[in-house]
């Protein structure tokens, strides 16, 4: 009987208390500049060496040349479901074609939407 009274008292207290979490409804998520988030890719400086692909511990990044060797049409794809945001790909790029940003709002509803073009 005592347990039920304690539980009822606790429920009524929580009904009139402020929520302990902050509700996030898709607004701007502000993070510190030191946070490694989404990658930024500069296709103009990329030399298609694919060091970033080899150094990625999860194989989350893919560099594709849709053009020829002389007329490159470079594209980078990132699987955000696999990426652990370690920054190893950006560190291994000798031409600084990849860099980390602080953008971290990458949630998707479908698994197929996790792979994005940078």
Give pLDDT tens digits for 50-59: 999 999 999 9
Position of tokens 């920054």? Answer: 87
Position of tokens 């990426």? Answer: 83
pLDDT at position 79 is: 94
Position of tokens 């479901």? Answer: 81
Confidence band for 17, pLDDT divided at 50, 70 and 90: confident
* Strand 115-117 with 39-41, pairing: unpaired
At 68 the three-state DSSP class reads: coil
Give pLDDT tens digits for 32-45: 778 888 999 999 99
CATH of domain 33-101+112-118: 3.30.70.3270
The reported pTM is: 0.72
As to burial, measured by CB atoms within 10 angstroms (0-12 exposed, 13-18 middle, 19+ buried), residue 107 is exposed
């Amino acid at each position: 009987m005592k347990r039920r009274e304690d539980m009822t008292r606790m429920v009524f207290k929580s009904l009139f208390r402020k929520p302990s979490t902050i509700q996030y409804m898709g607004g701007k998520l502000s993070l510190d500049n030191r946070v490694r988030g989404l990658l930024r890719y500069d296709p103009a400086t990329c030399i298609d060496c694919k060091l970033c692909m080899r150094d990625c511990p999860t194989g989350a990044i893919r560099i594709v040349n849709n053009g020829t060797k002389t007329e490159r049409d470079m594209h980078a794809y990132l699987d955000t479901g696999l990426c652990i945001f370690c920054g190893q790909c950006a560190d291994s790029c000798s031409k600084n074609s990849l860099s980390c940003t602080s953008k971290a709002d990458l949630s998707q509803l479908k698994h197929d939407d996790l792979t994005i073009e940078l």
